[in-house]
Amino acid sequence: MPVASMIRFLTMIPERLDEKQKSILLEEIDTILKNAWGKFERDFLEDHVFTSEQITIARISNELIGFCAINKKKILNKTVHYIEFTVIRKDFQKLGLGTRLSFLALRKIILRNIFKIISQK
């Protein structure tokens, strides 16, 4: 069975997660980051992941294999969304999952804000 058919994508809003869900997700994200990029401080992860507007995750079975965190800032009275992290576990890299996760995450933001985008001058 191809890997792509086994992957489930899910988008979540970090502020809606309870403490247990945050703790579990933080542990999974910490593991992936260590595998892909190296060690990050837990405080840094909490400040940059759980303050995100949304997190889109990829799972195979119940195992987290990647995530994309989208954040926003106000710049010159405009809201700007940006990708804080897109991280894929090393053994799933080079399969296009980072691109797919980023696309799905940005698509959700665009669809949620489409009327604001259209009406801006």
What pLDDT digit, counting tens, does each position of 23-36 carry? Answer: 999 999 999 999 98
Q: Give the CA angle between residues 22, 72, 39 to the nearest 5°.
A: 50
* Domain range for 86: 3-119
Cα-based distances in Å from 48 to 40, 70, 74, 93: 11, 10, 16, 22
Q: Does the pLDDT at position 5 exceed 90?
A: no
Looking up residue 30, the CATH number of its domain turns out to be: 3.40.630.30
22 vs 7: CA distance, rounded Å: 21
pTM of the model: 0.86
Rounded average pLDDT over 51-69: 95
Query: What domain count does the chain have?
Result: 1
Residues composing the chain: 121
